[in-house]
Structure 1
């Protein structure tokens, strides 16, 4: 899970250059997320981790924090095994 978090953090750091995000910090409540960024995040996760994110997966709670994104990815990876 730590490797997943590192990859997610590296991706997010390109967008949040002036801020170091904590693993439990809600990126939506910080006001940094717009619809374009949300789609970029989904596309990054699908490509980087070779997972398919369906419409039913598009729950804000899966994408709020580094912790929640990593848990979501780990769950998707375990389903695909």
Structure 2
């Protein structure tokens, strides 16, 4: 099976995918560090951290899931058939 008849990815599209990957990795890494360090300071009466677990979940695995889905969509968009 040969794929020589399919168009190659343009250098601009390849650079865009690489840039998306680098920026996505930086953002996910920073959010992972932020989720690991924590961000909630409870009030003196013990309230104020009710949603801390949800926020931490959205910061690290949530951002990773969004970045992976964005990468999959971008790869499909760049390699789609132009006809």
TM-score, with normalisation over the residues of structure 2?
0.29
Structure number, greater radius of gyration: 2
Higher relative contact order (Cα pairs below 8 Å, separated by 6+ residues): 1
Greater per-residue helix proportion: 2
